[in-house]
Structure 1
Amino acid sequence: MKRTISALIRNRPGVLAESSAAFLHHKINITSISCGETENMDVSRMVICAEGSDDDISKVTNDLLAMDFVIQLDDLARKEFVDRELVLIKVDVDKDSMSQMMQIFEVFRADVVGMGQKTITVELSGDQERVEGLIKILQPFGIKSMCRTGMIALKRGDE
């Protein structure tokens, strides 16, 4: 089962490694991890997407809560949240496919950020379904390279 965990952590060396080690200890696969400073430069928000049973996720979240650098931890699978991911995709292009590709970019509201003689690079920001949808549609054209940020997320509402 896919889960999204959001943690506020103190900025100090090694916290990302210690956090991911807790997942390794419980043999839980991390599918995405992102971390960056919040409005407070001493605090970062780490968002981890992982696949594991409810029991395994509960064990790893308890381990994380016991770590002295964790300020707050939320299992977003149990709450409504807003998520986004950024992807850059470089895809093969020729004069025959250019028009069709531009229509695809327009439908997905993706931005062209670079062009070469044989490739076009596009960026898209959106939820994971939208990102996955664009990737799936572009695969037949020939994706040359791709880079994804991983999911970032916040709880909805006033919390």
Structure 2
Amino acid sequence: MKHTISALVANRSGVLAEMAEEFKRRGLNIRSISSGETENPDVSRMVICFETPDDQPGDTGDIVDAVDRMAFVIQVDDLSRREFVDRELVLLKVRRNGESLSQLMQILEVFRAGVVGLGEGSITVELSGDAERVEGLIRMLEPFGILSMARTGKIALKRGDE
């Protein structure tokens, strides 16, 4: 099962490594981990997407409690249990030729993806969106030949006034 937690943490060195170590100790696979400063430069938000084995779906409460007890953690939320908005950024370098450029541009227009670089044999595009939108663009571009790709991983916030 896939889970997403958000943690406000002290913005200091070693926090990311300590957080990853806690998940490693529990044998949990981190699918993505994003961290960056918040409106307060002394605080960072970490969004951690991880999996638990399908045969042991269990409760994410153990890892959430363990994260909450870490000295540098200010607040932690299990977003899997709340409504939240999430986004991911992807950069893709795709093979192109004169004949495929118009097809590529049509696909990019449908997904509202932007062109950020153009070479003689490639086009570099960016897209920000939820996981389904990102995966959809990747599927549509695969037949052209994806030369390289970089993804940020998920960032997320709770919806509403919480």
**TM-score tier after normalising by the smaller chain length:** over 0.9
Q: 1:7 to 1:54 in 2, by over 3 A?
A: farther
Q: Distance in 2 between matches of 1:54 and 1:142?
A: 36
Q: RMSD over aligned Cα, in angstroms? A: 1.0
CA shift digits 1:6-42 (9 cap, x unpaired): 0000111111111111110111100011000000000
Q: Distance in 1 between matches of 2:59 and 2:84?
A: 22
Q: Distance in 1 between matches of 2:92 and 2:155?
A: 19
How high is the TM-score relative to the length of structure 1? 0.97
Match of 1:18 in 2: 18
SS of the equivalent of 2:58 reads: helix
Matches within 5 A, 1:69-84: 69-84=72-87
Query: Is the 8 Å Cα contact of residues 28 and 56 (structure 1) preserved in structure 2?
Result: no
**Residue 56 (structure 1) shift:** 6.2
Q: Distance in 1 between matches of 2:85 and 2:7?
A: 15
In structure 1, what residue type is equivalent to 2:91? L
Match of 2:28 in 1: 28
Q: Which moved more, 1:47-56 or 1:141-150?
A: 47-56
In structure 2, what residue type is equivalent to 1:127? D
SS of the equivalent of 1:55 reads: coil
Match of 2:2 in 1: 2
Q: Distance in 1 between matches of 2:145 and 2:8?
A: 39
Q: Distance in 2 between matches of 1:16 and 1:9?
A: 10
Q: Distance in 2 between matches of 1:38 and 1:30?
A: 22
Match of 1:155 in 2: 158
Q: Distance in 1 between matches of 2:28 and 2:61?
A: 11
**Residue 58 (structure 1) shift:** 2.2
Q: Return 5+ residue gaps in structure 1 as ranges.
A: none
- Aligned residue pairs total 159
Q: Distance in 1 between matches of 2:88 and 2:76?
A: 20
Match of 2:145 in 1: 142
Q: 1:132 to 1:46 in 2, by over 3 A?
A: same
SS of the equivalent of 1:12 reads: coil
Q: How many percent of aligned residue pairs carry the same amino acid?
A: 65
**Residue 98 (structure 1) shift:** 0.7
In structure 2, what residue type is equivalent to 1:92? R
Q: Distance in 2 between matches of 1:13 and 1:101?
A: 42
